[in-house]
Structures are given as structure tokens and as C-alpha cells.
Amino acid sequence: MKAKRRLAQVGLGGRGEWFTHCLVGGEWYAGTPHAHRTPPTYRDTIDVVAVCDANPGRLARLEKQLAANGIKARGYLAKDFDAMIRDCRPDVVLVTTKDAHHDEYLCRGME
């Protein structure tokens, strides 16, 4: 079996949460009318090692959802993006921010 790719994600709003859900599956939106569960389809190929967002509440909520699904991703505020890259050494950076911020994170992630 190939080694898993280490993934860090920046941008955890609606688009980001949708991508996270698709990547790791599991239980999402518990306690809401939108609650549903999908099978994990990429857990055998990726490890979500870090998540990053400008909104501390959104970051905390996603960290909690990931932990409830057995994923121990470290959370970083957007101002700490460079520290996230340095600390977690991801193979892949998934940028799911607002479109206007994509270039900023793409360039910094590739450096």
C-alpha cells in the first residue's frame, strides 16, 4: 500500500466544509435537519493533518467534527498559515478560501 499523502486545508467556510466532508466522510451536521453520513472514500489515501481558517469559531467547529470522526488535524488561524506549513509539512495544500484569496495561499503553499 502506498503511503498516505499529508493534507492541510485552508478555508473552512461552505466550500471548505463540503470538500472536507467529501474527503473524510463521516457524520456531519449532527443535530440539524441536514445531518447525514457518507462513507469515507479517501481515508486510505490521505491524512488531514491540519486545517486553517480566519474565523476561530469555524475552525473550532471543524476541528471538533474531524475529531468526532477519528481525525486529529491540528487547527491554525489564517495568520498562522506559514507556521502550519512549517510545522505540519503537508504534501498537499487544499485551498478552499474565497476565490480572491486563492493566489495568496497557493503561492505561499508552494514555497
pLDDT in tens for each of the 111 residues of the chain? 678 999 999 999 888 887 887 777 766 655 555 566 665 667 788 899 999 999 999 999 989 888 888 889 999 999 999 999 999 999 999 999 876 665 676 667 667
- Alpha-carbon distance of 88 to 41, in angstroms, equals 23
7 contacts 23 by C-beta, under 8 angstroms:
yes
Instruction: Tell how strand 46-53 and strand 92-95 pair up.
Output: unpaired
- The model carries a pTM of 0.83
Backbone phi and psi for residue 68, each to the nearest 5 degrees, phi listed first: -65, -20
